Amino acid sequence: MKVYIAGKISSETEREFLEEVSKICENLGFKTFLPHRDVGLVKGIKDVKRIFNGDIIEGFKDCSLVVAVLDGLHVGAGTSWELGYAYAKGIPSIGIKTDESPEDALEYLSAILIASMPIVNSLKELEKMLKKFKKNNT
């Protein structure tokens, strides 16, 4: 099973956290797709088609689950788009928000995002949810 890992990738700290999420998934036997690792970062407008094709066309191919990091004041535009795309394709998602609860973030996290997936508060909770997902889908 393949997990697409979505989240902001602008800073080194953001990318490192996504890589931690990837390691948890891989330790449980999932294959992972990390956009910044598997396709690279945008350096200019010339990169957008390559990024879209790599992240969306290839990244979502054979995808069983999306794990989305929702930390920060706002969810990234790409992360929101990826979650909507996954939902439209019938791919389940799990959100992880470690900086505050979804209830406290309702004002800016979006009722739509909150209602579309379970959201966990820690890497430990994510691991439990991934184990449950794997058990129910193998």
CB 70 within 8 A of CB 96: yes
Q: Taking phi first (over 0 means left), then psi (-120 to 50 degrees means alpha), and beta for anything else, what does residue 113 get?
A: alpha
Domain boundaries, the chain: 2-136
In terms of CATH architecture, what is 2-136?
3-Layer(aba) Sandwich (3.40)
Q: How far apart are CA 57 and CA 61, in angstroms?
A: 6
Q: What's the mean pLDDT when you consider all of the chain?
A: 94
- pLDDT reported for residue 102: 84
pTM as predicted: 0.94
The whole-number pLDDT of residue 42 equals 85
* Strands laid side by side in the 63-69 sheet: 31-33, 2-6, 63-69, 93-96, 119-120
- Show the tokens assigned to 130: 């991934």
The segments of the chain whose pLDDT lies below 50 read none
Tell me the per-residue pLDDT of 48-66, one tens digit each, with 9 for 90 and over: 999 999 999 999 999 999 9
pLDDT of residue 105: 83
Could you give the CA distance from residue 39 to residue 36 in angstroms, rounded to a whole number?
A: 6
- Please identify which residue in the block is written with the tokens 């997990």: 3
User: Cα–Cα–Cα angle for 78, 34, 91, nearest 5°?
Assistant: 65
pLDDT given at position 104: 85
Q: How far is CA 123 from the centre of its chain?
A: 13
